[in-house]
């Protein structure tokens, strides 16, 4: 099994190249044939294995799905990941619309977001970052659920989402996408790629995005934050004659986002409350690989991110900076049955607030990591990985992970067990919407730790694929917000480690069927998530974690001609906290329709979202009767709050 991919010598490259191979032929989505099986090489699991042969379960959102979701939400990747089983995009700020990604019920702060294997959005990406990444140049997306700290350190306690960029073809190519929505939003994105010489090629992605503020229920509170955003990302690829490869990228983003009360409107205390955030982010990264003989390969990679925020929370202003740096080097090798790697890494994350310097921190984390993939037989493969980090604040952390694959006939059975940690910061979900003015400086916190395990079974026969996944997680020292007893103090809340464990148990069911040009996908997710109650005598459900959710998608697509799709997603009841209007949410459905027609290189599309016009403000007001001790003025978002929306536009492709 290993010798099938060893000739690629991409082991551990984490280069933004994904191989689509059928036998010895290259596979392109535009040349779809039913009798061909797509083999996808994944990089998030470090050793560059074919996804069906890797003991580490890596779910892939392929290029076809990426293009479909890009038509629904061209401005950001929230729609792209939200409709994957076991993945939930959770709104963390009703004022600004920011959100994070929860994997199998674990908190969004535990999810590491990567771009081509690099933490370009920071070691601990801000929630708003999810809404600032356009999907324009994505080839596919890789998802590892469960603790991946053994592969990527403390920021991957809950899993990894790796965004893989498109690589330039042999000829000049590009596209421009224009989009407009019924909620007065507009997007313009572009992608251009071309070879420069026999050994060098390059691409550039750019976008401009606008949204007008929307008060859908006419209560004076903005339900859709207004924003103006611009992004640009050039990439450079070099290949040497001796097998060496170099990938480099730069990124720049600026955004002005405003929510809160409309001009002239006031909160229940009689004062206006404007909430805004101006963001500037610059990042850079590189990956270099050099073969050393026939079986060894040296890999060096690094990244740097600098992000500045200017916040306004009513009458309070906060300016801060986030910085993140990574440098890593590793050596990998293989033979017929074994692939291995060993490496060293140094990562630094820092936060600097001008107004609240008591929250400033710098985490320096040198580490050692290793991985061993071993084929015990044709049907059985084993993957062992471990990482030791020496955290400047929380000391030595050891994160192991073991995965096993058994693949007899049409079955694929995987099991995994992992442990990891997360270094606490002030930016838990409850603080994301309020700022630091009412929060006590962090003291006496312990690192958050998790143990995760899963078993998944997949059966494939002809055009049918079914799978069942059972998963479990135990999380200790979860950081949460606690209200202080002195109401006259300017500091009214603090972050503490919760007593006991958060326990998450669940199951995922998936069914895929393809008949000619029609794809059908159905999924169901059951999640039983609980924590110790305040009395420590019983357990209570974790807030904003639906026990039942399900989805179904039917897509009819003839490449180069047309696409028609219908989707339906169900979200069950959720436990609510600090919501005076209800203790448990209502279930709801999300329905959508997508259509596209293509003439030569021009595609016209229209997409209708939330056909039932679901809005949380139809159930209760979003604004609280009184301001919460943390400074928050709104309830959590447990439903959709965008209402029925239509977007339409045109995609123009040129070149090869």
Indicate which CATH number applies to the domain containing 582. 2.40.170.20
CB atoms within 10 A of CB 423: 23
pLDDT, residue 6, reads 35
Least confident stretch, 120-129, 151-160, 283-292, 512-521: 120-129
Structural domain total, the chain: 1
Question: Is the residue at 37 inside a domain?
Answer: no
Length of the chain in residues, anyone?
656
H or E, element range at 149: helix 149-152
pLDDT, residue 124, reads 65
| CA contacts within 13 A on the Cβ side of 99 | 24
CB contact at 8 A, 223 and 217: yes
Question: Is the residue at 178 inside a domain?
Answer: no
Report the alpha-carbon distance of residue 505 to residue 470 in Å, rounded: 8
Question: Is the residue at 32 inside a domain?
Answer: no
Question: Is the residue at 77 inside a domain?
Answer: yes
For 417-446, what is the mean pLDDT? Answer: 93
pLDDT, residue 16, reads 35
CB contact at 8 A, 112 and 106: no
> What confidence category does residue 81 fall into, taking pLDDT thresholds of 50, 70 and 90?
confident
Which is nearest to 353 in space by CA: 323, 322, 320? 320
For 134, 135, 202, 655, the CA distances from 191, given in Å and listed in that order, are 11, 11, 11, 11
- Sign of the alpha-carbon dihedral angle for 407, 411, 416, 422: positive
589 pLDDT above the threshold of 80: yes
Among residues of the chain, what percentage have pLDDT more than 70?
Answer: 91
> What confidence category does residue 46 fall into, taking pLDDT thresholds of 50, 70 and 90?
low
pLDDT, residue 534, reads 81
pLDDT, residue 151, reads 87
CB contact at 8 A, 337 and 372: no
30 pLDDT above the threshold of 90: no
381 pLDDT above the threshold of 80: yes
pLDDT tens-digit readout, 322-367? 999 999 999 999 888 899 999 999 999 999 999 999 999 999 999 9
Q: Angle at the Cα of 16 (from 553 to 24), degrees rounded to 5? A: 80
End-to-end CA distance of the chain: 34
Report the alpha-carbon distance of residue 229 to residue 207 in Å, rounded: 8
Report the alpha-carbon distance of residue 373 to residue 401 in Å, rounded: 12
Report the alpha-carbon distance of residue 339 to residue 167 in Å, rounded: 26
Most confident of 2-6, 44-48, 326-330: 326-330
Report the alpha-carbon distance of residue 489 to residue 181 in Å, rounded: 45
Strand order in the sheet with 20-22: 25-26, 20-22, 39-40
Which residues, 6+ apart, have CB-to-CB distance to 370 below 8 Å? 340, 341, 342, 343, 385, 386, 387
Question: Is the residue at 608 inside a domain?
Answer: yes
pTM higher than 0.85 for the full model? yes
Question: Is residue 106 classed as helix, strand or coil in its secondary structure?
Answer: coil
pLDDT, residue 37, reads 40
Question: Is the residue at 442 inside a domain?
Answer: yes
Alpha helices per DSSP H over 165-237: none
For 294-300, what is the mean pLDDT? Answer: 93
For 260, 289, 615, the CA distances from 265, given in Å and listed in that order, are 9, 57, 21
Least confident stretch, 148-162, 297-311, 446-460: 148-162
Domain containing residue 538? 58-167+192-654
Report the alpha-carbon distance of residue 638 to residue 105 in Å, rounded: 14
DSSP class per residue in 294-349: TTEEEEEEEEEEEEEEEEEETTEEEEEEEEEEEEEEEEEEE-SSEEEEEEEEEEEE
Which is nearest to 140 in space by CA: 32, 56, 18? 18
CB contact at 8 A, 306 and 285: no
pLDDT tens-digit readout, 606-649? 999 999 999 999 999 999 999 999 999 999 999 999 999 999 99
CB contact at 8 A, 471 and 59: no
> Which DSSP state fits 151?
H
Question: Is the residue at 179 inside a domain?
Answer: no
Which is nearest to 141 in space by CA: 82, 229, 219, 222? 82
Question: Is residue 266 classed as helix, strand or coil in its secondary structure?
Answer: coil
Question: Is the residue at 509 inside a domain?
Answer: yes
Alpha helices per DSSP H over 354-440: none
């Amino acid at each position: 099994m290993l010798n099938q991919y060893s000739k690629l010598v991409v082991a551990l490259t984490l280069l933004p190249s994904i191989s689509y191979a059928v036998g010895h032929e290259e596979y392109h989505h535009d040349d779809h044939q039913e009798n061909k099986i797509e083999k996808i090489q994944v990089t998030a699991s470090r050793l560059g294995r074919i996804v069906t042969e890797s003991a580490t379960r890596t779910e892939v959102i392929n290029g076809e799905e990426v293009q479909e979701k890009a038509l629904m939400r061209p401005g950001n990747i929230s729609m792209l990941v939200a409709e994957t089983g076991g993945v939930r995009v959770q709104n963390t700020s009703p004022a600004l619309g920011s959100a994070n990604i929860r994997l199998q019920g674990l908190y969004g702060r535990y999810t590491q977001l990567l771009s081509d294997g690099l933490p370009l959005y920071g070691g601990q990406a801000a929630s708003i970052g999810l809404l600032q990444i356009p999907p324009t140049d994505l080839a596919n997306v890789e998802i590892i659920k469960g603790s991946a700290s053994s592969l990527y350190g403390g920021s991957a306690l809950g899993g990894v989402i790796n965004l893989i960029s498109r690589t330039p073809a042999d000829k000049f190519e590009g596209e421009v996408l224009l989009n407009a929505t019924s909620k007065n939003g507009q997007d313009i994105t572009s992608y251009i790629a071309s070879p420069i010489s026999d050994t060098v090629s390059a691409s550039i992605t750019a976008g401009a995005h606008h949204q007008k503020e929307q008060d859908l229920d006419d209560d004076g509170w903005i339900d859709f934050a207004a924003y103006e955003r611009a992004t640009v990302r050039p990439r450079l690829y070099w290949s040497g004659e001796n097998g060496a490869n170099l990938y480099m990228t730069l990124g720049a983003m600026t955004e002005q986002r405003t929510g809160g009360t409309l001009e002239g409107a006031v909160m229940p205390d009689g004062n206006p409350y404007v909430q805004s955030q101006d963001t500037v982010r610059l990042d850079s990264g590189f990956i270099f690989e050099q073969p050393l003989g026939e079986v060894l390969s040296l890999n060096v990679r690094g990244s740097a991110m600098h992000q500045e925020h200017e916040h306004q929370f009513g009458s309070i202003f906060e300016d801060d900076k986030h910085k993140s740096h990574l440098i890593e080097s590793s050596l990998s090798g293989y033979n017929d049955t074994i692939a291995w790697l060993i490496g060293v890494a140094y990562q630094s994350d820092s936060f600097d607030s001008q107004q609240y310097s008591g929250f400033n921190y710098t985490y320096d984390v040198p580490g050692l990591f290793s991985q061993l993939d071993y084929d015990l037989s044709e049907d059985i493969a084993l993957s062992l990985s471990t990482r030791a980090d020496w955290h400047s604040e929380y000391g030595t952390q050891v994160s192991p992970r073991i995965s096993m694959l058994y693949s007899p006939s049409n079955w694929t059975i995987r099991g995994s067990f992992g442990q990891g940690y997360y270094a606490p910061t002030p930016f838990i979900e409850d603080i994301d919407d309020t700022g630091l003015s009412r929060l006590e400086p962090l003291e006496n916190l312990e690192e958050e730790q998790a143990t995760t395990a899963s078993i998944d079974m997949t059966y494939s026969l002809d055009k049918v694929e079914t799978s069942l996944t059972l998963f479990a997680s135990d999380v200790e020292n979860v950081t949460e917000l606690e209200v202080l007893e002195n109401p006259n103090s300017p500091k009214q809340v603090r972050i503490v480690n919760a007593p006991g464990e958060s326990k998450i148990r669940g199951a995922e069911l998936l069914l895929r069927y393809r008949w000619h040009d029609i794809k059908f996908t159905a999924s169901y997710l059951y999640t039983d998530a609980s924590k110790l109650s305040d009395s420590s005598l019983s357990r209570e459900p974790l807030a904003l974690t639906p026990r039942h959710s399900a989805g179904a998608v039917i897509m009819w697509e003839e490449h180069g001609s047309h696409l028609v799709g219908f989707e339906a997603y169900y979200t069950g009841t959720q436990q609510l906290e600090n919501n005076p209007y209800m203790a448990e949410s209502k279930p709801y459905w999300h329905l959508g329709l997508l259509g596209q027609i293509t003439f030569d290189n021009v595609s016209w599309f229209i997409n209708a979202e939330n056909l039932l016009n679901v809005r949380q403000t139809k159930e209760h007001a979003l604004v609280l009767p009184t301001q919460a001790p943390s400074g928050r003025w709104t309830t959590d978002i447990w439903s959709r709050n965008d209402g029925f929306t239509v977007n339409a536009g045109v995609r123009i492709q040129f070149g090869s």
